[in-house]
Structure 1
Amino acid sequence: MKLMDIYFSLKSDLDLVERRLLDEVHTSQYNLKKASSHLLKAGGKRIRPVFVLLAGKFGHYDLPKLTRVAAALELIHMASLVHDDVIDDAATRRGTPTVKAEWGDRMAMYTGDYIFARALVLLAEFSDVRIHQLLSESIVSMCEGEIEQIRDFYNKEQTLRTYLRRIKRKTALLLSISCTLGAMVADCPPRTVRLLERYGYYAGMAFQIIDDILDLTSTPKKLGKPVGSDLSQGNLTLPVLFALQHSQDAVRLRDLISREMTRAEVEEAVKIVKASGGIEYARKMADRYMEKCLDALYKLPNMDARNKLEGIAHFINERDH
């Protein structure tokens, strides 16, 4: 099943989520409204809302409740992106200027805080304590992951365990929660909730590893940023960590990785990583997570929503942008 077909089948429901997102970032403060809607208008895959909606199909599909959850989780994701761009000093995202680049660091931080607060207001309408407990614990973990990432910028002694824990907190948690909360709001049986949670987690781990591969192998046009941006910002991903351990040019790679890296040095470092087998190693790791993702999925009832989740899993594993 093609990704476009999956999104088209959910178009009317996703349109409601989109309208909800626009409503939630509305404010009488002109600059805050402009900055808040800036990233929203840049678009995105909206994979978190899609996960919420499809997870809801396994239970009682209450669209008003599900769109509320879907919008809230996308807002949390958006807020994290705005904050990330300040930390990373990023000028563009998805090929458009970041909030930081347009309005400065201070406005970007307040904008991220505002978007995050709007998400919490949306979810406050739910009386189920489990929803708030799960989300609160996950947000704490996500924040810890961001701090760990900052701590480990340019740290060439990182371990695989450190990397995997970081991407769990950075990406996999929110995708897992999207499936979990969608299922919980739809009153799915506990086993179904657990299986969807596992599907989202393993899909999220594969998603981030593929992202890290694409940062080194794609093109600036597809990425919306220069190739090797993570590396130049000191975010050492799985292929780079592999190369630091196994490349015959590991000593040179260590010398290249620094806060003063030039564009030419980034390009040289990327070549060393590619020649080391790090890309292939990361690809195999992503494949293993995808196998676990599909294993959890195939234990769910055989229905249209499961087929769509399978199609998204294949897109995650095969995407080039």
Structure 2
Amino acid sequence: MRLPGRSGIVADLEDALQDYFGVRHAVTFSSGTAALHATYDAARIKAGDEVIVPAWTFHATASPLFHLRAVPVLVETGADGNIDPTTIEDAITPRTRAIMVTHLWGRPAAMLAIQAIAKTHNLLLLEDGSHSHGASHGGKKVGTFGLAGVSAGRAVHPRGHQGERPPQGAAMNSPFADPTFEDTIRAAAETDGVERFVVAAVITDGDRMLFLRRPAGEFMAGLWELPSGKVEKDEGIEQALLREVAEETGLRIDAVEKYLGHFDYTSGSGALTRQLTFEVTVTRTGPVTLTEHDAHEWAGPDEIPAVSDAVRELVTR
């Protein structure tokens, strides 16, 4: 339940929450459990629908589903306590309607990978952020990745569960955590006359990097390259990076760790192109599924295949 009407301190609080999270609507409830129940109802979860939820969470992440006669489907969590993205797809069935993510003990879940899974399977993405007020992942506050997010008004011990400090998420150092990063990149490119962007990912397995070979008949056929692709019109740089890695390799980015730099070249159509390269981590390193290349190779620093001079210089710095 919630207080009727919207005035006084209720309105002040909801307005402040809207501004803080950068969302269009913020609605206060009497408890996190009530807010979760309302979220499922507003998402039109109905009898027989399945919702994927983490096996380790507060009961209210799943229990409201029983009131709607829906079915919570429990999936495994990782070492950090959050839902393991690698277990989600195996739990998806024709009845799956949504994925509910809990950000446990103040540490954000791997939202970039989970967001990509939800998009691929046309599922609603919902978040329980009751343990993670103010936490961010890839520059976005938790609770703002999906259709709706719930944040219960409760305190979380600053040292996490059982007195242990939760580990710091690598994605907190993502270049996209800086809200000016993409604008700065685009402004510099406009000054330099760059006509289009390509994003590339350095994906590692131990000390080896993943390279893909361009097929016969393609521009620069036979050349090896990093997983990469064009940033589409009206697409963000980070979104393009997630999409291209998934499309070209079947792998899913867990976190964008570092911006490694750029180089320019002229495309087959004559456009001045700037390749932006990022170091990323993926949820798992295999299997690699190719859609636009004819071979892949994991290579160490001393066995890099026939890549362009610009790529070689960048990955061997």
Give the structure-2-normalised TM-score: 0.28
Q: Which has the higher strand share?
A: 2
Q: Relative CO higher for 1 or 2, CA cutoff 8 Å, sep ≥ 6?
A: 1
Give the structure with higher Rg (CA): 2
